[in-house]
Amino acid sequence: MNVNYEYYKVFYYVGRYRNITKAAQALGSSQPNVTRVIKLLENELGCQLLLRSNKGIALTEKGELMYERVAAAFFQIQAAEDELSQAGGQTEGTIILGTTETALHLVLFEKLKHFKQQNPRVRFKIHNYSTRDAIRELTRGAIDVSVVTSPFQAGRHIRSQKLLAFQDVLICGSGYMELTRRKRHLAELADYPWVCLGKNTVTYDMTSDFFLQNGIVLRPDIEVATSDLMVPMIQNNLGIGYVPAQLAQPAVAAGSVFLIPVHEQMAVRKVCALCDTRRGQSRCEKEFLAFLSQDKTQYIS
């Protein structure tokens, strides 16, 4: 079969973004040209690769199989190009990183700062996702590395490395100071206003399960989209809520929020870096993953 290999390159970007317009932008091409090339590739292979609908595009079963193989080949070529370009100099390349807001604040800001200082020629494209979406985008090849917070479920081909263990603590603003004066059971707090992350997050599911285990139902008064909004909401007496201890610590130290002592403790959670073992990794990805795990796992109480 004598297929033009440029067709596979176009197909790779369409499969990666699941969007003709985004693929065209990444390729520096036009939408009609990308559509034309995909049609030519389908004709050459004798099978349909894409399903088109009003909701966008999806890969057929054969398209998924082809994308998995093409993506692996693409990453091997990219890795070889990176290694050749780095033979006599600094590490360079681009890493597409998907992360949750919590992981960004707990680990990545500090890690990225130091990694960039040591590797100024490595570029990052950073996308903010929920844990579920970050794993989905990693699995379909849209991002190179995911840094997410547990709990999560990933396929056998996803390798996970633990970066940090942390504990969620219950905090309140000055309007709820009476809750800080003695240790309480969670059930005593059920009728207070609660602030939490939105229903599309694993943090919400974990908190909801924790409530159910203690015989109560989570009915948040305020749901926020990102974890960095939690402390300001609570600080302004809009409710009480669970926040990773490291995120709460500066406000606790400043006296703008306060710890609520409770008998029941949430499970220890983790920040993890994930990569897809089905794909080759460039040198800069390997070095970044190694850098992320340099420090020993810390436990935040």
For residues 232 and 263, membership in a common domain is answered with: yes
For residues 184 and 256, membership in a common domain is answered with: yes
CA distances from 152 to 159, 160, 270 (A): 13, 11, 10
Looking at per-residue pLDDT, the higher value among 297 and 49 belongs to 49
Domain tally, the chain: 3
Where in the sequence is the domain holding 20, given as residue range(s)? 5-82
Q: Which tens digits make up the pLDDT trace of 91-146? A: 788 899 999 999 999 999 999 999 999 999 899 999 999 999 999 888 888 889 99
For residues 16 and 39, membership in a common domain is answered with: yes
Residue with tokens 């700062």: 113
CA 116 to chain centre: 20
CATH number at residue 61: 1.10.10.10
Report pLDDT for 88. 55
What's the maximum distance between 2 C-alpha atoms anywhere in the chain? 76
Q: Quote the tokens at residue 49.
A: 């690769």
Q: What is the mean pLDDT of residues 232-240?
A: 97
Q: What is the mean pLDDT of residues 187-198?
A: 95
Does pLDDT of 232 surpass 90?
Answer: yes
How far apart (Å, rounded) are the C-alpha atoms in residues 279 and 13? 15
For residues 159 and 279, membership in a common domain is answered with: yes
Q: Which tens digits make up the pLDDT trace of 264-280? A: 999 999 999 999 987 77
DSSP conformational letter for 238: S
For residues 11 and 34, membership in a common domain is answered with: yes
**Amino acid present at 5:** Y
For residues 179 and 259, membership in a common domain is answered with: yes
Q: Quote the tokens at residue 226.
A: 């990102």
* Secondary structure of residue 34 in the 3-state scheme: helix
Residue with tokens 């995911």: 146
For residues 132 and 281, membership in a common domain is answered with: yes
How far apart (Å, rounded) are the C-alpha atoms in residues 159 and 179? 42
How far apart (Å, rounded) are the C-alpha atoms in residues 87 and 83? 6
For residues 151 and 287, membership in a common domain is answered with: yes
Percentage of the residues of the chain whose pLDDT score is greater than 70: 93
CATH number at residue 246: 3.40.190.10
Report pLDDT for 87. 54
Q: Quote the mean pLDDT of the chain.
A: 89
For residues 182 and 127, membership in a common domain is answered with: no
How far apart (Å, rounded) are the C-alpha atoms in residues 102 and 55? 30
Spell out the alpha helix ranges (H) of 177-229.
Answer: 202-213
Report pLDDT for 300. 38
CA distances from 207 to 100, 190, 194, 218, 287 (A): 17, 13, 11, 8, 35
For residues 212 and 76, membership in a common domain is answered with: no
Does pLDDT of 228 surpass 70?
Answer: yes
Range name among 27-41, 60-74, 192-206, 222-236 with the lowest pLDDT average: 60-74
How far apart (Å, rounded) are the C-alpha atoms in residues 68 and 257? 49
Q: Which of 55, 82, 109 is the last residue of a domain?
A: 82
Q: Which of 82, 106, 137 is the last residue of a domain?
A: 82
The conformational region for residue 60 under phi > 0 = left, psi -120 to 50 = alpha, else beta, is beta
Contact of 176 with 192, CB cutoff 8 Å: yes
- Burial of 204-215, coded b for 16+ CB within 10 Å and e otherwise, reads bbbbbebbeeee
Q: Which of 82, 99, 122 is the last residue of a domain?
A: 82
Look at residues 162, 171, 198 and name the one whose alpha carbon lies nearest to residue 298.
162
For residues 174 and 240, membership in a common domain is answered with: yes
For residues 197 and 54, membership in a common domain is answered with: no
